[in-house]
Amino acid sequence: MVLDEPLYRRWLEDYQDYVVRPYTMELISGTPHASSKPQDNYKWSREKKELNSRIASCVDRLDGDGVIFVKHMAKHCPLYDFEKDGEANGSTLTLGVDLHIKHKHVLLIRDPVSMLSSWDAASAVHSNSATPNEVGIVHLLSIYSNVKSRSSGNGSICVVDSDDLASDPDTTLGALCNDLDIPFTTQMLSWESGPHECDGPWADWWYSGVHESTGWSSDYARRYQTLDPSLLPAMRASLGAFNFLKQQTHRYINRGPKPETIYEDPRNEHVLVYIGAPGFGRLIPRDFAGVSPWDASVQGGDATWEGK
C-alpha cells in the first residue's frame, strides 16, 4: 500500500502565499482541476482526508502482514508528529483490527546540484522559487536529528542516496530491505510504465519522467549537471546537511578497508583534525577533512617531493 505525500494539501494551505503551484486552490478545496482526467477526479477529494485515517484505511485493506509506504516530502515534516508517528494535531490513529504498527523512517537524499538543476527544468510548475525550505535537504537533517533523539521508540532511520539507488539498485535496495526487515525481490527492479492509482492528483505536472520509466536508471544524473546562478543560495544552504547525511549511507560507511585494519590504535579513527590557517581554522572529524582547491599543493603539486 502506498500513500503519496498525504500532507501536501495541508502544507499548501500554510504556504499558499509563498509558493506557486498551478493546482493550489483545487488541491486545497478538493475540487478537480480543469485539466484532470475524469477517472482521476476522485483523487482531488481523497487528499482532504487526514493522514491517520488514510493509514487506517490501508491497514484495513492489507491481507495479513504487509507494508504501508508513506511518501512524504521533507518540507512537510513540521506537520508530522515524530513521537506519535502520525499527523501533528490530527485525529488519533484508530484501527479496525488489533495490530501493532512498527514505523521505520527512510531518508532519500540527492545531490543538491542535481536536485536544483532538475527543479530548474520544471520551473513552469513552480516559477523557480527555490528556497532552502523548498529544497528540503535541511529539513532532512532535522528529521534525522529528531528521530535519533526521540525518547521513545527505537530511533531507527535509514539514509539512501538516490545516486546509489540508480547506479546499483540491487545492492542498495537489498541493504535497505535488510534494515527494514522486509524481503528483497527482483520485482523491485522493474515496473510497468504509466500512472498508478496511488499517484497524487499533481502527477501530471511532476511525474512524466517516472511514468515513462520501466526500471532504475542513472541517466537522470547526467541530465542534471548545471545550475542557474539564482539557485546558488539554496544550494549553499543545503550542502552541509547533504554531506553529513551522505556519510550515513551504507555505501559510504562500507567504503574502503574497515577502520580496525587501518589504525594500529582504534582510537585514531575518531581523532579530530585542525584544518585552516592559524586563527581561521577549526577542529573537525578526520573523515570530514579536505584540502582547499586554492591550496598550492593542489594547484601545482609543489608539496610533492622525494627524499630519503
In angstroms, the CA 133 to CA 76 distance is: 9
Query: Which residues lie below 8 Å from residue 85, measured CB to CB, with a gap of 6+?
Result: 101, 103, 153
Q: Which positions ≥6 away from 194 have C-beta within 8 Å?
A: 211
Structure confidence at residue 258 (pLDDT): 79
3-state secondary structure of 21: coil
Residue type, 132: P
Nearest to 6 by CA among 86, 101, 67: 86
123 pLDDT more than 80: no
- Distance spanning both ends of the chain, measured CA to CA: 66
What is the share, in percent, of the chain residues with pLDDT greater than 90?
Answer: 44
Q: Compare 123 and 50 and report the one with higher pLDDT.
A: 50
Summarised one tens digit per residue, pLDDT across range 90-118 is: 766 665 555 566 788 999 999 998 888 88
pLDDT recorded at residue 281: 86
- CA angle (245, 90, 65) in 5-degree steps: 70
Strand-pairing partners, residue 160, are 108
Average pLDDT over residues 139-164: 84
The amino acid that residue 231 corresponds to is L
Q: What is the pLDDT of the chain when averaged over all its residues?
A: 85
pTM, two decimals, is 0.85
